[in-house]
A and B are shown apart, each in its own frame.
Chain A
């Protein structure tokens, strides 16, 4: 009879910088070798379990859940114990998770700390313990025995002694000790492999990781490295030669004894939300009906009624009521606090969610592909992301913690993985490459160029002279890519459980104070079928809420999103002009260019607008066909009715991710299961997925069904483009709503809109300076910050809604100080700097900031004099102040001006404004330079619009952005700002190469070029670039650069 084997001690790469194989690699290899079972036993962690589980789900190899521990201290006169704990049952698994949680919560992020005391106090009755006795070098026989006795007292007959044979020096002595201890303790011995990698080929990588862990290079790592590469999953015949049969048999007995399966973890929904004598289904139905009455006071349309019935049926069948109730509860909380929120995702844009108030997308207006609402075929939870105002999301998070307690709610983890840069850096470090040279190599690599010859570059840069090492380097970096580095917190994915969360999955500390994360990320949760709620932050919601509040104040009655008139032609007309700075999602340069081409006229056009300027449709070359069809330049046709159903709303051109997947089914004959695989592969493509297996099937299937090869190829390219950036219609629909709302506000309540945007900074694409300039171009009067008029925030002032900038704009002014200036302001206003200082209780620092910002114009001659005055007070004359208080007499508020100080020039004022507030309300610096004659022959941004294409032009402006988008081969886009607006400059690769210096370093750039025009969109194709930065020497303008 062939003897089987179960590996019971195995580290995956979730024991960071130790394990050299992915859990799935270990799982697959164990299956190949015919192991009976495999335990993944990462150091104080079960983070690798879900991935191993996914790989072993349908295999005869049993997955055992365990974890390895080294304690911080030793029991009295004993050696420090090192051991593996294996979960025998679900209960044992819970005990294991508790112990891990204790160890992790106590230590800093990424570490753990467990003491002998913890094993005494934690219940571990359903866990097995495999003890790895200390070697004769590290502990003497008495200490080893004492340690074994201690463990035996705790674990009784559930203790085993682990024996390992890695053929290293001193193994004979270790085996002798194992036998002696087994004898003395009457404890069975079990064979283990102390596995660190799935195959021997990983030894170099394991060495690299070890060296990194010890902060050494391979050359200096010495004895930190293992002596050989035997810690891999070895074939059973090899093991039979190494271990006595009883030790091997023991592995099988233990595997038999461990019955816990991760797949048996079932999510237990928190029952808190459902009233006692009501079923979840009935409760959800009741809430939905109440919502229905609110949403459709004149009666629910038939179509919607049918939809609600269908959806509730599905929800009930899949038993997802709790999920919808949980989200409803969070949204209801947000609403009760006046926090604006909106759900998105396939399940979010449903009729039920509309009634529950989770989304504002009215199902009566949009028809979505509801197959993805909830899929019956796939046993996986529905997916709803909820966006909240970014400045108030924390309140929602605190509510969740408060409602369910820290024991039952925690954030999902995000596994931070090795990316090319970090992998190159770390492997370079281990190989002892010069750090500066590695940086140089990193900067020299064109990341988009997949054909980069690394090997040659490594040799060229002199990182090594040894071509073999260069090859090794390449292999190591490639293998290390995608390895987990550490766990970080997910942006907002909450896991909420019925019982203590720590019995479901271990909880550890996140980097942020007071935050905890579980050891699994969202993919793990998905593969185990556990539910999470995404609580995300969105700046635009903050801005919209603030704008609505300002409009309400102006109107004297509450004004809500629902009160905004639908399909307003003036709003669409504005968007069609590309006038969209500040508007949600469509304010980027690419979107501004697309708006006049797409010319949105309806809400659904906005849904498309949001989704079309994305890698998917662009790489699939679907943009032009769509535009041609929309404007009637090309007939809209469909090969058959099935395709028509999928593509009708987008005029026969696939735009959304759902359509592409659906198309794979109706046009290429994919089964539902295959289509779902495709969807998953697309989602994973960015990190490690491979789409090529689908390519042939897709193209063949489409050819067979009479589609052109060209169309099939484009569809495949689009699929690749979606990879990692998939943009589904269900998200676009939610976003388009906010596009419309923000555009409407900009069109009809410009002052309120800009005021709210400025108060929500930082967010969006543009700086405060750019927003203020845009506001001025939209006839909003903007007033400077002033201690006698401003509040902390920006406000609207007077009957004409002038935008008064708030004190928050003054960089470095303390928030409390700004608040007190407003609070303690006398009704007659402040009359001197001394009074501001005294009444508002400001310190010197705040006073200097006020003077620097020229925020006391009412009683100071100019900013220089203001500053001079307050410097005098640096040593407060305490006694004097106590005796007399403020001198309330007559006219001596105006201090004597100092004759030695110059009057500020306009240039000085502009500079000072920029450095204290990041913007100026005076003339634009370019206007000044133009007046001084520095910019002869230059055309202003505004004037460009009236010029004929093909004309040679000269422009100049502050560089506010440099961008090299991945989709445009080697082109750099530069945005220049002058006093009238922005100029878009296109720099071709060749031009850029020849003029690197001005292109990369100029803050003020002069461009000679040729005007190009496409509809209303004007570009300047750059010829000669000149750096004029010396003209604006100390102007602190920063450019947003994307290389």
Chain B
């Protein structure tokens, strides 16, 4: 067996950088924002190191761009890498959060030698604009340790690999902390020093677990790794550290993703006719765009045209912080178009869902909305017409405690022209919303107009009167 290990030292950073060209140094910080987890090469040139306090990092580079770490996203990114590698290698194992193994001994013949494999992988990495440290080893652990230490070489020579391993410092051996401290205290500095200790003594004086790890590195103990299975969908994401305000800014990232989709479809020998593009905003609900091609399709160019068209029709409602492209529907190239292979209707068996789907199909996605109350004192923000929710269940607002409001709320207040003939309740004072620039300060009353209509009227701070709704 021969294992190739790829270590991605700053996967999230690479991911962000290829979505948007950035001049400044960039770091990923852990959740609380106190310490640097990953630093891009530019940041490292400025002296910023992983593990450094953010305060110090900012002292070194005041214009630093900062991103919060996101484990889930990192895990997805790693899967993305496994996905393209899967085209070359059948046996892949993930090492969350930042590495993966590929079993390459069986490929040597196929590719005509180790060098060819190595180059293929390196070229693919370059195409994906990713930094990865690669190494070969006869055991999974050997490959991993060498890769993470940056000591990998394109050689399957056992003696050569053994020498490289022996020279690794103890800190690079990934032993548990106690074992590492103990070995240090014994004056041992390299992995070779540990290899040299009699195994019996090692187990007795340090721990049987440590011996087991050593044996796994050296290959005298089995270390099976279950192969990874690619999921049945395509999902890619791009994050922008500078919010994108115009459609143009999205296309750069989409180009790469669509190219990968095309590759993926070609390799699957499948087509698709439905793309889901989700644009995330900082403060608003995400924009979800469903794109349907006229027939089964796999070309990035066609998808791109479609997306351009859609975005031209529907300008961005708010700046975009990230986008996700998802394909769930795959159509076999031989199969007649339109046939549902993977059973998209499977989870739509409830009558409710069927109804919504039919209505949407008939009227178009945009035409169908669902009304729900919002927790806001301002009447115009106290409701929303959002995307139809697939799951029923009440929102955050308890309808019992809602105040008395007219069923018919006007799209906007209209000046009150008639003098009311009778007043029924009020004033109810509503004052709020100063934080989003849409401050209201009004006294509401229920009043009967000469026409007999029951109106919801208010007076604003300038003493002007408006009708805001009608009671039945």
Contact between chains at A435 and B205 (CB < 8 Å): no
Q: Report which residue of B187, B188, B441 has the largest number of chain A beta carbons within 10 angstroms of its beta carbon.
A: B187
Contact between chains at A436 and B66 (CB < 8 Å): yes
Write out the residue numbers on chain A whose beta carbons fall within 8 Å of the beta carbon of B283: 219, 432
Contact between chains at A225 and B66 (CB < 8 Å): no
Stretch of B133-141, B217-225, B369-377 contacting A (4+ beta carbons < 8 Å)? B369-377
User: In chain B, what residue has the closest Cβ to A431?
Assistant: B435
Write out the residue numbers on chain B whose beta carbons fall within 8 Å of the beta carbon of A867: 182, 185-186
CA distance A872 to B58 in the complex (A): 48
CA distance A137 to B283 in the complex (A): 32
Contact between chains at A996 and B185 (CB < 8 Å): no
CA distance A172 to B46 in the complex (A): 66
User: In chain B, what residue has the closest Cβ to A851?
Assistant: B185
Q: Which of B197, B201, B431, B437 is A227 in contact with, Cβ under 8 Å?
A: B431
User: In chain B, what residue has the closest Cβ to A220?
Assistant: B375
Contact between chains at A874 and B205 (CB < 8 Å): yes
CA distance A912 to B376 in the complex (A): 62
Write out the residue numbers on chain A whose beta carbons fall within 8 Å of the beta carbon of B403: 169-170
Give, as a whole number of angstroms, the nearest-CB distance from A846 to chain B: 14
Contact between chains at B204 and A872 (CB < 8 Å): yes
Write out the residue numbers on chain A whose beta carbons fall within 8 Å of the beta carbon of B193: 900, 902
Q: Which of A167, A466, A868 is B427 in contact with, Cβ under 8 Å?
A: A167
Main secondary structure of the interface of A (DSSP, over half): helix
Give, as a whole number of angstroms, the nearest-CB distance from A517 to chain B: 29
Contact between chains at B432 and A437 (CB < 8 Å): no
CA distance A171 to B444 in the complex (A): 13
Q: Does A800 count as interface, using CB distance less than 8 angstroms? A: no
Contact between chains at B401 and A223 (CB < 8 Å): yes
Q: Does B249 count as interface, using CB distance less than 8 angstroms? A: no
Write out the residue numbers on chain A whose beta carbons fall within 8 Å of the beta carbon of B205: 868, 871-872, 874
Q: Mark A830-864, 1 if CB is under 8 A from B, else 0.
A: 00000000000000000010011000000000011
Contact between chains at A440 and B58 (CB < 8 Å): yes
Q: Which of A223, A431, A435 is B33 in contact with, Cβ under 8 Å?
A: A435
Q: Does A19 count as interface, using CB distance less than 8 angstroms? A: no
Contact between chains at A443 and B375 (CB < 8 Å): no
Q: Does A708 count as interface, using CB distance less than 8 angstroms? A: no
Contact between chains at B33 and A439 (CB < 8 Å): yes
Give, as a whole number of angstroms, the nearest-CB distance from A81 to chain B: 20
Q: Does B338 count as interface, using CB distance less than 8 angstroms? A: no
Asked, given contacts A172-B425, A996-B59, whether A871 binds B206 with beta carbons under 8 Å apart, the answer is yes
Query: Which B186-242 residues have a C-beta within 8 angstroms of A?
Result: 186-188, 193, 196-198, 201, 204-206
Q: Mark B369-399, 1 if CB is under 8 A from A, else 0.
A: 0000011110000000000000000001100
Write out the residue numbers on chain A whose beta carbons fall within 8 Å of the beta carbon of B377: 222-223, 225, 227-228
User: In chain A, what residue has the closest Cβ to B60?
Assistant: A996
Contact between chains at B432 and A901 (CB < 8 Å): no
CA distance A437 to B193 in the complex (A): 47
Write out the residue numbers on chain B whose beta carbons fall within 8 Å of the beta carbon of A223: 375-377, 397, 401
Asked, given contacts A167-B428, A222-B396, A230-B429, whether A848 binds B434 with beta carbons under 8 Å apart, the answer is no
CA distance A437 to B321 in the complex (A): 15
Write out the residue numbers on chain A whose beta carbons fall within 8 Å of the beta carbon of B182: 848, 867, 871
Q: Does A3 count as interface, using CB distance less than 8 angstroms? A: no
Q: Which of B59, B374, B396, B430 is A1000 in contact with, Cβ under 8 Å?
A: B59
Give, as a whole number of angstroms, the nearest-CB distance from B412 to chain A: 21
Write out the residue numbers on chain B whose beta carbons fall within 8 Å of the beta carbon of A167: 427-429, 443
Contact-residue size bin, chain B (C-beta under 8 Å from the other chain): 35 or more
Q: Mark A378-404, 1 if CB is under 8 A from B, else 0.
A: 000000000000000000000000000
Q: Does A728 count as interface, using CB distance less than 8 angstroms? A: no
Contact between chains at A171 and B59 (CB < 8 Å): no
Write out the residue numbers on chain A whose beta carbons fall within 8 Å of the beta carbon of B400: 137
Asked, given contacts A440-B58, A444-B58, whether A901 binds B429 with beta carbons under 8 Å apart, the answer is no
CA distance A997 to B68 in the complex (A): 23
Q: Does B436 count as interface, using CB distance less than 8 angstroms? A: yes
CA distance A223 to B375 in the complex (A): 5
Contact between chains at A204 and B429 (CB < 8 Å): no
Q: Which of A204, A221, A863 is B434 in contact with, Cβ under 8 Å?
A: A204
User: In chain B, what residue has the closest Cβ to A875?
Assistant: B204
Contact between chains at B374 and A440 (CB < 8 Å): no
Q: Does B29 count as interface, using CB distance less than 8 angstroms? A: yes
Asked, given contacts A432-B283, A435-B33, A436-B33, whether A469 binds B435 with beta carbons under 8 Å apart, the answer is yes
Q: Does A492 count as interface, using CB distance less than 8 angstroms? A: no
CA distance A1043 to B53 in the complex (A): 14
Write out the residue numbers on chain A whose beta carbons fall within 8 Å of the beta carbon of B29: 436
User: In chain B, what residue has the closest Cβ to A999?
Assistant: B59
Q: Does A1001 count as interface, using CB distance less than 8 angstroms? A: yes
CA distance A851 to B181 in the complex (A): 12
Q: Which of B55, B185, B198, B201 is A443 in contact with, Cβ under 8 Å?
A: B55
Q: Does B404 count as interface, using CB distance less than 8 angstroms? A: yes
CA distance A317 to B231 in the complex (A): 90
Contact between chains at A468 and B437 (CB < 8 Å): yes
Q: Does A472 count as interface, using CB distance less than 8 angstroms? A: yes
Q: Does B40 count as interface, using CB distance less than 8 angstroms? A: no
Give, as a whole number of angstroms, the nearest-CB distance from A494 to chain B: 37
Give, as a whole number of angstroms, the nearest-CB distance from B392 to chain A: 21
Give, as a whole number of angstroms, the nearest-CB distance from B321 to chain A: 10
Q: Which of B64, B68, B197, B432 is A228 in contact with, Cβ under 8 Å?
A: B432
Q: Does A908 count as interface, using CB distance less than 8 angstroms? A: yes
Query: Which B438-457 residues have a C-beta within 8 angstroms of A?
Result: 441, 443
Contact between chains at A169 and B60 (CB < 8 Å): no
Q: Mark B35-60, 1 if CB is under 8 A from A, else 0.
A: 00000000000110100101110111
Write out the residue numbers on chain B whose beta carbons fall within 8 Å of the beta carbon of A848: 182, 185
User: In chain A, what residue has the closest Cβ to B58?
Assistant: A443
Write out the residue numbers on chain B whose beta carbons fall within 8 Å of the beta carbon of A868: 186, 205
Give, as a whole number of angstroms, the nearest-CB distance from B97 to chain A: 20
Q: Which of A168, A439, A440, A443 is B428 in contact with, Cβ under 8 Å?
A: A168
Contact between chains at A469 and B374 (CB < 8 Å): no
Write out the residue numbers on chain B whose beta carbons fall within 8 Å of the beta carbon of A864: 185-187
Contact between chains at B46 and A997 (CB < 8 Å): yes
Q: Report which residue of B29, B60, B67, B428 has the largest number of chain A beta carbons within 10 angstroms of its beta carbon.
A: B428
Contact between chains at A228 and B431 (CB < 8 Å): yes
Q: Does A218 count as interface, using CB distance less than 8 angstroms? A: yes
User: In chain B, what residue has the closest Cβ to A438?
Assistant: B33
Q: Mark A201-230, 1 if CB is under 8 A from B, else 0.
A: 001100100000000001111111101111
CA distance A703 to B27 in the complex (A): 59
Query: Which A403-448 residues have a C-beta within 8 angstroms of B?
Result: 431-432, 435-437, 439-440, 443-444
Contact between chains at A218 and B435 (CB < 8 Å): yes
CA distance A838 to B376 in the complex (A): 71
Q: Does B315 count as interface, using CB distance less than 8 angstroms? A: no
Asked, given contacts A443-B55, A1000-B60, whether A901 binds B188 with beta carbons under 8 Å apart, the answer is yes
User: In chain B, what residue has the closest Cβ to A916?
Assistant: B185
Q: Which of A204, A222, A229 is B376 in contact with, Cβ under 8 Å?
A: A222
Give, as a whole number of angstroms, the nearest-CB distance from B49 to chain A: 8
CA distance A439 to B35 in the complex (A): 12
CA distance A420 to B125 in the complex (A): 47
CA distance A633 to B55 in the complex (A): 47
Contact between chains at A169 and B404 (CB < 8 Å): yes
Write out the residue numbers on chain A whose beta carbons fall within 8 Å of the beta carbon of B472: none
13 inter-chain pairs at a CB distance below 8 angstroms, sorted by A residue, are A207-B432, A218-B436, A222-B377, A222-B396, A223-B397, A228-B431, A228-B432, A431-B435, A444-B58, A864-B187, A867-B182, A871-B206, A1043-B59
18 extra A-B contacts, CB within 8 A, seeds A230-B431, A901-B186:
A137-B401, A172-B425, A207-B434, A219-B283, A223-B397, A223-B401, A227-B431, A436-B29, A436-B33, A436-B66, A436-B68, A444-B62, A848-B185, A868-B186, A900-B198, A902-B188, A1000-B56, A1001-B47
Q: Lowest 4 CB-CB distances: which A-B pairs, in order?
A: A222-B375, A169-B403, A997-B47, A167-B429
Q: Which of A's residues lie within 8 Å of B, judged by CB? A: 137, 166-172, 203-204, 207, 218-225, 227-230, 431-432, 435-437, 439-440, 443-444, 466, 468-469, 472, 848, 851-852, 863-864, 867-868, 871-872, 874, 898, 900-904, 908, 912, 996-998, 1000-1001, 1043
